[in-house]
Structure 1
């Protein structure tokens, strides 16, 4: 079994292959941001975290049944006053607080906490999984020192249990494309190449995500390795 990882703090992407087929594919957030049940970053917190899309939209909620005939003659403002005075309704905004600093800046997130989050989240996903190979995109930019540190943390997590761990150059993913491209053009081409190689099941999954570039990176890295290197380490 092969695990391909593209390093990130908020968007660490991974793709698991078995017999050249995808069996798991997704994004792991290593920051401490609260999440809505939909998976989006939360901006409000009540009895549970809510994103902007899924936070309760009504100002008032009923706490017990109210007979329709008691309410039918009230105008909107009078209705709210009546509900409040009878304590028939309660304001949900009293229990809904704005999470002003929930969106963490990746450049300021404590690396020790990131290391703890790697241990916690990787254990949840892969504690009992035995990988034959783990490949990790090599972080070489002088501006990517934090990513290089996280690359080392990820390596350390797997080093005792995985016989083969290799760092892969990002240039390999689109090595077969000879045209010179800008960074943004490479991202678009990567997404296109990814879509073309997917089965119907995974194409549907890919079409619904807003992290296409990250998912494409780890997928194409895995595909390149399977085609060019996997046989050499067996």
Structure 2
């Protein structure tokens, strides 16, 4: 993502250098704000993809490693014949997170090994989060029982609890597709937290090398949902990164509701009125807040000459809502 120039020429000694984060895995958004008296400027504003690897894995096509019989290799020392295992060798389509390292399966052998005894499953569309979301609570509860999935002990598990438990289960037991150039890229849910943490360190170190001043304050969007355990872990990894890299930094966890507090009810009403689908989605507060965040951010960028150079950065982004969330969170902190 392209960067606009820092608007503040020379921040004073007492300036605050604030890095504000909107937590995510594929879209970890942050905005580096410099507050110098009554002046505010953006130094860095971007998205970080924690799934990104520096180098793609390349190599020969991955083939099925299953033994399909024996092949004679010649006479043995006792007068008989010797034989080696004959490997399938067909183009591999699957690997499995619970299988031995380096084992790959073609479609035929993957189906042959998938059974109730080992619990391995061929992925289906019905196992995806989007399809599970279409089921009601009773159907989800029945599926949890049928699959013998453990659910966190609560008096009455919600639909969200069931979906999270089922997604974790299918992630463990389903085959993972591979490509002809090695294992396919993993999704945010499939990538382990250690890999995400290492990617975070590498990418933030690279970004921080271009910062003109170390951060004095770090704001982290607080993750409070009990079912968003991975987001809570990413939040913790971010906190530890800044504690290790900048021991004296001030870290604050910020409620997501604060980012829109700087706007009056009149401003919010005007934003809603200017959006065609506002009435249609009146009850969908989350979507409304995301939409309003983009509108308010555009207003601030347009009215402050020190922020205006960053308008192209927002325009070019496919995740405008995440960029706006971290920006407004930082502005709320400055103005509170």
1:107 matched to 2:107: no
Shift of the 200–140 alpha-carbon distance from structure 1 to 2, 3 Å rule, reads: same
1:25 alignment counterpart: 45
Q: TM-score, normalised by structure 2?
A: 0.46
Work out which of the residue numbers 208, 212, 217 in structure 1 matches 2:316: 208
- Equivalent residue number for residue 187 of structure 1: 290
Structure 1 residue runs without a partner (length 5+): 36-41, 47-96, 229-234
Report which of the two structures shows the higher radius of gyration computed on alpha carbons: 2
1:158 to 227, 238, 242: 242
* Alpha carbons of structure 1 residues 121 and 171: separation in structure 2 relative to 1, 3 Å: same
Which sits farther off after the overlay, 119-128 or 176-185? 176-185
Q: CA RMSD in A?
A: 2.6
Number of aligned positions between the proteins: 170
Query: Runs (4+) of structure 1 moved beyond 2 Å?
Result: 32-35, 97-102, 175-181
Inter-partner Cα distance in structure 2 for 1:10 and 1:181: 24
Query: Residue in 2 aligned with 1:173?
Result: 259
The 3-state SS of whatever aligns with 1:159 is: helix
Measured in 2, the distance between the counterparts of 1:151 and 1:145 equals 10
1:14, distance to aligned residue in structure 2 (A): 0.6
Task: Tell me which of 211, 217, 224 is aligned to 1:140.
Answer: 224
**Residues 163 and 98 of structure 1: CA distance in aligned 2, closer, same or farther (over 3 Å):** closer
2:53–2:199 Cα contact (<8 Å) kept: no
Deviation at residue 159 of structure 1 after TM alignment = 1.1
Instruction: Identify the match of residue 197 of structure 1 among 300, 304, 311.
Output: 300
Report SS of the residue matched to 1:140. coil
Unpaired runs of at least 5, structure 2: 1-16, 60-179, 269-282, 302-306
SS at match of 2:293: helix
Instruction: Say if 1:115 and 1:22 are closer, same or farther in 2 by CA, change over 3 A.
Output: same
In 2, the alpha carbon distance for the partners of 1:166 and 1:118 equals 19
Alignment of structure 1 residues 68-147 onto 2, 5 Å: 101-102=184-185, 104-127=186-209, 129-147=213-231
Instruction: Give the match for residue 52 of structure 1.
Output: none
Distance 1:24 1:159 in 2: 20
| Secondary structure, aligned partner of 2:32 | strand
Structure 1 distance, partners of 2:220, 2:288, is: 22
CA shift for structure 1 position 34: 7.2
1 CA distance for matches of 2:43 and 2:52?
A: 27
Per the TM alignment, residue 200 of structure 1 is displaced from its structure 2 partner at its CA by 2.8
Deviates more, 1:107-116 or 1:159-168: 159-168
Look up the SS of the partner of 1:186 in the other structure: helix
Q: 1:185/1:100 Cα in 2 relative to 1: closer, same or farther (>3 Å)?
A: farther
